Amino acid sequence: MKKHGWLVLLTIGMSLVLVFCLYVQHRSVPEENPISFLSFRVFSDETPDISEEILCWNQDDERCFVFLPSYADLNRTEVQLQESYNCKLGGVQLAHGLNCGSFSLDTDYELTGEGFAPKILQFVQSGSVATMYIDTFSGNMERIHADKSYKERASITVYSANGHVDYQGNNDSVRGRGNSSWNYDKKPYNLYLYQPASLLGMDEAAEWALIANASDNTNLRNKLIYDFADSISPHPGWVPENEYVDLFLNGEYAGLYLLSEKKESAAYKFKEKKDEFITICLNNYITKLDDPATALRLDDSIFAEIVAPSRASAAEYTRLEAYLQDMMNALPAENWNEYIDLDSFARKYLIEEIFTNTDGGEASQFYYWDPSANTLYAGPCWDYDMTLGDTTWVDWISPYCLKMQSAIWYKDLWTQEGFAEYVQNLYSSECRPLLDQLIEDFPAITKSIEKAANANFIRWTTLYKNGQDQAAMQKFLSDRVDFLNSIWIDHTEYCEISFAAQGPRGYPIVSLFVPVNSSGRLIPTPEDVGIEKEFIWYREDNDEPFDYNCVITEDLTLYNKREPVEGEAAGASSSFIIKLVILAITIIPFLFLIPILLFIEYRRNRPERRRGHE
């Protein structure tokens, strides 16, 4: 140290200077993610004095996207770039305010610059869909996503598909909504306008719902079924008004949503015709209830609660409970139609049944009760993302089923000849022509949101990687209509095949209906419905294996059981013996080896012990 101490100190000092320089350089260069300094501003021909900022969306370390609304045009889109950054897009030097007319849609451009790794950027545009921008006062959605009940003030702007400003509000609010739908990454929201307003031509309302359709990769189910239900609506407010919107949250594209009138708002349209009115909701999970302490239990799994008025009294619950008990006692009896509005119940049954709503009769089921007339009305329609073959909450469902005939209230109503006849006549006279038209128009309906759905799919690829596509959904609907025509119009006789089994996720397997005298080969195998292939069906009536070559002449219930294949027991015994022999061969040498090693060690150490004693 005495000789070379100065060299050591100089080395340490130079190292500190180098670390300091690296730190300063790190602080002066941009982050690796270019989103932090690059965005784009879009203008509309309809309202050129108003513009919106759109952020890049980072798909991964290599790709990012700029999602443009339907009304946007790259010739009316400008670069927003912080002054300290130097970067190029596709070889074009970017500058703040640069017009993007030289770029094209759906084209990969390399984004390069100092301080970040090159990335691929692509412009993607929606089409034929309105746009909603929500800018929270905090500038982010973190607290809303952390707490569904937290409501934050926000400014909201809505543009029509052609870019006309439909609504602007600077003192509105937004918060989360939904039950199971809140668990998806693509969140649903409630909007609270400072004053009631008409959005996109819909009736004025202060509260609105943004439905995410996160479990429906077609983005069609809710809108398609609402529109169909509206065409057979028995009274105002039976179907909430709704329109598609592309949603941007604080400048970031959040996907394709369905902006909907809330069910409570829809109910008020019907309420105006009644002196006294109560809206109730049925749900099959306590977690879906607003207040489990006040909810009424209707059977082992269905609860009822009052949702309007929002703060129902104990007396109102007592009156409702007494009414529901009387009604449920009457449904199997001759005076069943004294308690319900036949027309609304029949139409609601048809909506749930035609589109195979797996929540039908169990969750998000709404009814209006008029105590003065002692009458219950079915409606409004709500929540149809789990329909038309969706298997979110069932392990298997076929278009050849009658799902709602086992649902609460409807299972008793269907035994009444007057109800069944009314439903079938209504289907034949009103629904069948509309369904034929719907099937014919299905490709055009799909095409109408194709661009918006494609952008949404890019944004939520991981969410929508599984699930039924539009073609499969259309086929399900077509097969479904053929089946209902056969059973309700042609009066073909069917047998019900019930499955006393649960699928791989523990969810129900919905009963299948097959024509009388059909081959047993129409019955799916356990493997077809997701059960392990080692299982086979057994008939519950005789505990014999189901014969796929049989002719089905009666209702059947099948259960699954694992049976050892021929020779499996002997094979298992032989396998056990073989394993035992292998184990013995492995262990016995060690049993002999241990004492031998101990003896050798003893003999080796014996002379040393003798010398020690001497």
Quote the tokens at residue 448.
């109408």
Helices and strands (H, E) in the chain, number of each type: 12, 27
Q: Is the pLDDT of residue 6 over 70?
A: no
Rounded Cα–Cα distance for residues 209 and 287 (Å): 20
User: What is the average pLDDT across 106-116?
Assistant: 94
pLDDT tens per residue, range 12-65: 656 665 555 555 444 444 444 667 899 999 999 898 899 999 999 999 999 999
pLDDT tens per residue, range 395-405: 999 999 999 99
The answer to which of 7-16, 383-392, 403-412 has the lowest mean pLDDT is 7-16
**H-helix or E-strand spanning residue 124:** strand 119-125
pLDDT tens per residue, range 465-481: 666 789 999 999 999 99
User: What is the average pLDDT across 364-385?
Assistant: 93
**Widest pairwise Cα distance in the chain:** 119
The b/e string for 73-98 (b: 16+ C-beta within 10 A; e otherwise) is ebebbbbbbeeebebebeeeebeeeb
Look at residue 567 in the predicted model and tell me its pLDDT: 54
DSSP label at residue 103 = -
Q: CB–CB of 165/139 below 8 Å?
A: no
Which of these, 220, 214, 224, lies nearest to 255 by C-alpha position?
214
Q: Is the pLDDT of residue 609 over 80?
A: no
Look at residue 308 in the predicted model and tell me its pLDDT: 85
Is 7 strand, coil or helix? helix
User: What is the average pLDDT across 187-206?
Assistant: 97
CB within 8 Å of 548: residues ≥ 6 apart: 519, 520, 521, 523
Is 519 strand, coil or helix? strand
Q: CB–CB of 66/54 below 8 Å?
A: yes
Look at residue 606 in the predicted model and tell me its pLDDT: 59
Which of these, 401, 381, 382, lies nearest to 391 by C-alpha position?
401
Per-domain residue ranges for the chain?
A: 34-125, 127-212+236-272, 274-491, 493-562
Look at residue 309 in the predicted model and tell me its pLDDT: 85
Q: Is the pLDDT of residue 588 over 70?
A: no
Which of these, 280, 182, 236, 218, lies nearest to 445 by C-alpha position?
218
User: What is the average pLDDT across 153-167?
Assistant: 97
420 phi and psi angles, rounded to 5 deg: -60, -45
Supply the mean pLDDT for the chain: 89
Rounded Cα–Cα distance for residues 522 and 503 (Å): 19
Rounded Cα–Cα distance for residues 460 and 68 (Å): 16
Look at residue 21 in the predicted model and tell me its pLDDT: 53
Is 558 strand, coil or helix? strand
pLDDT tens per residue, range 503-545: 889 999 999 999 999 999 999 999 999 998 889 999 999 999 9
422 phi and psi angles, rounded to 5 deg: -65, -45
Determine the residue type at 372: S
Look at residue 347 in the predicted model and tell me its pLDDT: 98
- Cis, bond preceding 595 (omega within 30 deg of 0): no
Look at residue 467 in the predicted model and tell me its pLDDT: 66
CB atoms near residue 51 (< 10 Å): 14
| Angle (nearest 5°) at CA 400 between 394 and 402 | 70
Q: Is pLDDT larger for residue 613 or for residue 374? A: 374
Q: CB–CB of 498/246 below 8 Å?
A: no
199 by Cβ neighbours in 10 Å (0-12 / 13-18 / 19+) ranks as buried
Q: Which fold has domain 493-562?
A: Ubiquitin-like (UB roll) (3.10.20)
Which of these, 544, 565, 500, lies nearest to 526 by C-alpha position?
500
- Cis, bond preceding 309 (omega within 30 deg of 0): yes
Q: CB–CB of 513/496 below 8 Å?
A: yes
Q: Is the pLDDT of residue 249 over 60?
A: yes
Q: Is pLDDT larger for residue 585 or for residue 324? A: 324
Tally of residues, the chain: 614
Band (582; pLDDT cuts 50, 70, 90): low
Q: Is the pLDDT of residue 358 over 70?
A: yes
Quote the tokens at residue 238.
């039976």
pLDDT tens per residue, range 220-229: 999 999 999 9
Rounded Cα–Cα distance for residues 62 and 261 (Å): 40
**H-helix or E-strand spanning residue 576:** helix 568-613
Look at residue 18 in the predicted model and tell me its pLDDT: 56
Bridge partners (DSSP) listed for residue 499: 558
User: What is the average pLDDT across 321-325?
Assistant: 96
Rounded Cα–Cα distance for residues 506 and 434 (Å): 36
Beta strand 109-113 with 87-89: parallel, antiparallel or unpaired?
A: antiparallel
165 by Cβ neighbours in 10 Å (0-12 / 13-18 / 19+) ranks as middle
The answer to which of 12-21, 52-61, 257-266, 548-557 has the lowest mean pLDDT is 12-21
Band (421; pLDDT cuts 50, 70, 90): very high
User: What is the average pLDDT across 446-455?
Assistant: 97
In terms of C-beta distances under 8 Å and separation of at least 24 residues, what long-range contacts does 33-37 make, across chains too? 33/58, 33/116, 34/64, 34/87, 34/111, 34/113, 34/116, 34/119, 35/64, 37/81, 37/82, 37/84, 37/85
Per DSSP, helices labelled H in 290-448 are: 314-330, 342-354, 410-413, 417-426, 432-448
CB within 8 Å of 480: residues ≥ 6 apart: 354, 355, 356, 388, 399
pLDDT tens per residue, range 173-193: 999 999 889 999 999 999 999
Rounded Cα–Cα distance for residues 310 and 313 (Å): 10
Q: Is the pLDDT of residue 157 over 60?
A: yes
Look at residue 24 in the predicted model and tell me its pLDDT: 46
